[in-house]
Each structure stands twice: as structure tokens, then as C-alpha cells.
């Protein structure tokens, strides 16, 4: 529980380069550690906001879970500190930016790139699941690219980005939700993440989600399993993979 002066010391240790993105509870900045020159992402959360949103447990759990994950395919968590008003999370900086933007810009990935990305997400999910953690929110908006184009799975959490062309509805896009999460009854398991891996791979290959529609219709189509068929240009192997997860 560092005293305020240590926090100032901590903050003073960093030079703030530029804002990276805007979350619901605060902002993310690109920062450089003055002494070592180490570059990372500083996520600043506003305590008053967290209390107002009754999200203390969510933030506590995020720190607890994220600090226990070490995997090249998961955005690294380096540490945290706080002062009276704010909580600061030190995260790995992913210079390749958001997969969402890259996918929108290029339209869709080649089968090779789609396969490479799907494998990296699967390996990151394996790490999460081995620690009995479900991600539950795998989608292009939560995945970043590292320096060499490798994928970094993250969980922006409730961070509702500044209004942009994202598909966020109140609680994020419905496109990725598996049937069991739409029907309140079912208790969902890690299979939730496998389902989203299939939806994600479909979107890599096609450039849009398999059940993309109005929110009401997306719900119906997911529950019915009524997905837009993959185009003939997609190989049988790729089709088999998407249908299997
Ligand atoms: O900021 C932008 O818009 C884009 N941008 N661009 C570059 C860049 N480099 C780093 N971070 C960025 N943004 C912060 C993203 C996050 C915020 N909060 C997180 N928390 C989390 O991932 N938690 C977590 C908890 C448990 C399990 C798991 Cl897998 C994850 S990640 C970057």
C-alpha cells in the first residue's frame, strides 16, 4: 500500500508520451520509465468512478487474474500502484495496435494469416484455461499486435472506447456471444472461449462475423446456429475448423 510520496515517486519515474486509448474508468497512456528507458502502457483508473460503478470487485479481480498470467500471447501485466484518487496498472505496450483496426483496414486475412492468428489465440486461451480462467470476451476489439505482428490477447474490460465504428452496444457486441450465454439458464464453461475462437476465425477469413445482423436477429441466429455460410473461396480445411469449434 505505497504511501502517496512513493506513488509520486513512481509516477515521476515515468515520462508520459501519448494517450493510447480511452477506457470507461480512465485512460491508457504510452509511458517510458526514465531510468531504464523501458516503454509500457499505463492504465489509469479513477477510484471515484470505480466506486460509483460499484466495480471495486471487478478491478480487484482483474489485477489478481492478470498478474498471474505470463504468456507471450497475453498482454503482460507488470505491476500496479495507487494514490488517494487513482489506480495505476502497468501493462505491456503492444506497438502493433488493435487487431480490430488492422482487420477493418485490410478487410479480411489470408488463410495463412487467419490460421497463424487462430493458433496464437488458442495458445493464449490454453494458458488462461490451464489457470481455470475463462476470458469470456474474445473479440477483435480485445486483441492487440506486438512488435513482430504476434497477437496479444487482452481484456479491455468495461472500457467503452470513445465513440467510433466499433460494434459496442451497451455491453459490447453480441456477435461473439455463444448460445449458452444468451439463454440465462445455462451455466457456461470454458467452451464459451472455444466458441468465440470459431467466430473470430470466421471473421478473420470473411471480414465480418458469422451472425452479424440487428441485435435482435443476431441473438436469434446464434441460438439457432444460423450462420452466414463461409464463401466457396474458403478452403475445406478452414471451413471444417470453423464448423468444429
Ligand atoms: O489503448 C488502446 O486503445 C490500444 N493500445 N494500443 C497499444 C496498446 N498497448 C497496450 N495496451 C493498449 N491498451 C490498453 C488495453 C488494455 C486495458 N486494460 C487491459 N486489461 C487486461 O488486459 N486485463 C486482463 C485481465 C485478465 C486476463 C486478460 Cl487476458 C487481460 S488491456 C494499447
For the beta sheet containing 26-33, the strands, ordered from the edge strand earlier in sequence to the opposite edge, are 14-22, 26-33, 39-46, 86-91, 77-82
pLDDT at 22 over 50: yes
Q: What is the pLDDT of residues 152-201, one digit of tens each?
A: 999 987 543 333 344 544 455 788 888 887 776 667 788 889 999 999 99
Residue entry with cell 512513493: 6
Distance (Å) from CA 147 to ligand 1 centroid: 15
Q: What is the pLDDT of residue 165?
A: 41
What CA–CA distance (Å, rounded) separates 73 from 122? 9
Greater confidence (93 vs 136) lies with 93
Per-residue pLDDT, averaged over 139-162, amounts to: 82
- Using CB distances shorter than 6 Å, the residues near ligand 1 are 20-21, 28, 41, 43, 62, 65-66, 69, 74-75, 91, 93-94, 97-98, 135, 144, 153-157, 159
Q: What is the pLDDT of residue 184?
A: 67
Distance (Å) from CA 245 to ligand 1 centroid: 26
Ligand 1, atom 3, lies closest to the CA of: 21
Per-residue pLDDT, averaged over 117-145, amounts to: 94
Q: What is the 3-state secondary structure (H, E, C) of the chain?
A: CCCHHHHHHHHHCEEEEEEEEECCCEEEEEEEECCCCCEEEEEEEEHHHHHHCCCHHHHHHHHHHHHCCCCCCECCEEEEEECCCEEEEEECCCCCEEHHHHHHHHCCCCHHHHHHHHHHHHHHHHHHHHCCCCCCCCCHHHEEECCCCCEEECCCCCCCCCCCCCCCCCCCCCCCCCHHHHCCCCCCCCHHHHHHHHHHHHHHHHCCCCCCCCHHHHHHHHHHCCCCCCCCCCCHHHHHHHHHC
The question of whether 137 is a catalytic residue gets the answer yes
Q: What is the pLDDT of residue 1?
A: 44
Q: Which one of the listed residues 137, 155, 175, 193 is annotated catalytic?
A: 137
What CA–CA distance (Å, rounded) separates 164 from 158? 16
ipTM attached to this prediction: 0.97
Percentage of the chain modeled with pLDDT above 70: 87
Q: What is the pLDDT of residue 190?
A: 85
Ligand 1 pocket test, pick from 59, 156, 166, 196 with the greatest ligand atom count within 8 Å of Cβ, gives 156
Please state, rounded to an integer, the average pLDDT across all residues of the chain.
87
| Cell, residue 108 | 479480411
Is the model's pTM score more than 0.80?
Answer: yes
Which ligand 1 atom sits closest to the C-alpha of 152?
29
Amino acid at each position: 500500500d505505497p504511501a502517496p510520496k512513493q506513488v509520486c515517486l513512481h509516477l515521476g519515474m515515468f515520462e508520459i508520451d501519448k494517450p493510447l486509448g480511452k477506457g470507461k474508468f480512465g485512460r491508457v497512456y504510452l509511458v517510458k520509465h526514465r531510468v531504464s528507458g523501458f516503454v509500457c502502457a499505463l492504465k489509469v483508473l479513477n477510484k471515484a468512478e470505480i466506486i460509483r460503478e460499484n466495480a471495486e470487485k471487478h478491478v480487484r479481480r482483474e489485477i489478481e487474474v492478470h498478474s498471474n498470467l505470463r504468456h507471450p500471447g497475453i498482454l503482460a501485466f507488470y505491476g500496479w500502484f495507487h494514490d488517494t484518487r487513482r489506480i495505476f496498472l502497468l501493462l505491456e505496450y503492444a506497438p502493433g495496435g488493435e487487431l480490430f483496426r488492422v482487420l477493418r483496414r485490410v478487410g479480411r486475412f489470408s488463410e495463412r494469416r487467419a490460421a497463424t492468428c487462430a493458433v496464437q489465440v488458442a495458445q493464449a486461451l490454453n494458458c488462461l484455461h490451464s489457470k481455470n480462467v475463462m476470458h469470456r470476451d474474445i473479440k477483435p476489439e480485445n486483441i492487440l499486435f506486438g512488435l513482430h505482428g504476434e497477437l496479444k490477447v487482452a481484456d479491455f474490460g468495461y472500457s467503452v472506447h470513445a465513440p467510433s465504428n466499433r460494434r459496442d452496444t451497451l455491453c459490447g457486441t453480441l456477435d461473439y456471444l455463444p448460445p449458452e450465454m444468451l439463454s440465462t439458464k445455462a451455466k457456461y464453461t470454458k467452451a464459451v472461449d472455444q466458441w468465440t475462437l470459431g467466430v473470430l476465425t470466421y471473421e478473420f477469413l470473411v471480414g465480418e462475423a458469422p451472425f452479424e445482423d440487428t441485435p435482435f436477429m443476431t441473438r436469434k441466429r446464434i441460438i439457432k446456429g444460423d450462420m452466414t455460410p463461409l464463401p466457396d473461396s474458403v478452403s475445406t480445411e478452414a471451413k471444417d475448423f470453423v464448423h468444429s469449434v
